[in-house]
Amino acid sequence: VAPTDESFPERYGRWALVAGASEGLGAAFAGAAAARGLDVVVLARRRRELEETAGRIADEHGVQVRPVVVDMADPDVGRIVAEATDDVEVGLFVYNAAASPQGKFLDVSLDEHLVGLRVNCITPTVLAHRLGKRMTGRGRGAIVLVTSMAALQGTKVFASYAAAKAYELILGEGMWDELRDDGVDVVSYVVGATATPTMLSSINREGGSLADASVEPRTPESVAGRVLEHLHDGPRVYSHPDDERAADASATKPRAETVAAMGRVTSKFWA
């Protein structure tokens, strides 16, 4: 049974921590947590945008919002986040930050792919390990790893991004099965096209509108709000029922067909 709004801080703990929260979907996750009465730690690289977002959420919801400027690619991120949050109980952890090397695999530099692995695989592992231990010790908490429809098959133009998102998807599912007996909910959140500044600025505008590709971007607020209603419905939650239907339909097709269909969309709109 999903907890009621009133029970959120009691069920999970007083604070949320959202990694990658200065704008778009990450800011929406922070706002949705604040709307349920949680205080929030927000992490991102750009100080001005992060502080503006933190101030806006604090004003709107009357909660404490603590901005911490940190790069998820920093090898020291575990220590930095620990120092910034050890005095509070993080009851909800959302790993939203992502790096998405864009272009054919061999055309993107190896360095860029490796930074992607750090942001999309290593850092979520570091933070989920640390915060997960504290949650199981207290017998309550929730972890959301934000992944993507791209994680469900090889994806042309985003090959290493999609592979890294598959890592987050499968990590979250395994953690769900391990932590549920300790009172901790884990969800791998499979997100479809969402109208965030990052996503809109990465579109190849020559290609027309996303609607032409039957991809209707959703609002960050609707996508963020949905997962908080489904924290108890892991291991995998989709950002919209249509995403789940599309995933199920693709899974029944020959693999080459599924991979090529995704590649036609990504190479048209993100080449």
Ligand X SMILES: NC(=O)c1ccc[n+]([C@@H]2O[C@H](COP(=O)([O-])OP(=O)(O)OC[C@H]3O[C@@H](n4cnc5c(N)ncnc54)[C@H](OP(=O)(O)O)[C@@H]3O)[C@@H](O)[C@H]2O)c1
Active site residues: 161
Considering the complex, state which of residue 9 and residue 192 has its C-beta at the smaller distance from ligand X.
192
Which of 35, 265 has the CB closer to ligand X? 265
Q: What tokens does 227 get?
A: 């997962």
Q: Which stretch binds ligand X (CB under 6 A): 93-101, 134-142, 169-177, 260-268?
A: 93-101
Instruction: Tell me which residue of 85, 84, 43, 39 sits closest to 62, measured CA to CA.
Output: 39
Binding residue for ligand X, selected from 153, 155, 188, 194, defined by CB under 6 A: 194
What is the rounded distance in angstroms from the CA atom of residue 70 to the CA atom of residue 5?
A: 30
State in angstroms the smallest separation of the CB of 198 from ligand X.
3
| Residue 253 touching ligand X (CB under 6 A) | no
Q: Kindly state the smallest distance separating residue 96's Cβ from ligand X, in Å.
A: 5
Nearer to ligand X, 63 or 146 (CB): 146
Those residues whose C-beta lies under 8 Å from the C-beta of residue 189, and which sit 6 or more positions away, are 144, 145, 146, 147, 172, 227, 237, 239
Residues 108-147, one symbol each (x = binds ligand X by CB under 6 A, - = not), give -----------x--------------------------x-
Helical H runs in 145-208?
159-179, 197-202
In the region spanning residues 165 to 184, those forming contacts with ligand X, defined by CB under 6 A, are 165
Contact 220, 196 (CB under 8 A): yes
- Among 199, 203, 213, 246, contact with ligand X (rule: CB under 6 A): 199
To which residue do tokens 């300790």 refer? 182
Q: Determine if 24 is a binding residue for ligand X (CB under 6 A).
A: yes
Instruction: Find, among 112, 139, 122, the residue nearest to 10 by Cα.
Output: 139
Sheet hosting strand 236-238, strand order edge to edge: 65-69, 39-44, 15-19, 90-95, 141-148, 184-191, 236-238
Applying CB under 6 A, which part among 44-52, 57-65, 136-144, 227-235 lies near ligand X?
44-52
Question: What are the start-end ranges of the H helices in 36-76?
Answer: 47-61
How far apart (Å, rounded) are the C-alpha atoms in residues 40 and 1? 24
| SS3 call for 74 | coil
Other Cβ atoms within 10 Å of 253 Cβ, number: 12
Q: Of 30-38, 42-50, 82-90, 126-134, which segment contacts ligand X by CB under 6 A? A: 42-50
Span from 32-40, 65-73, 84-92, 225-233 in contact with ligand X (CB under 6 A): 65-73
Using CB under 6 A as the binding rule, whether residue 22 contacts ligand X is answered as: yes
Binding residues (CB under 6 A) for ligand X: these are 20-26, 43-46, 49-50, 71-73, 96-99, 119, 146, 148, 165, 191, 193-194, 196-199
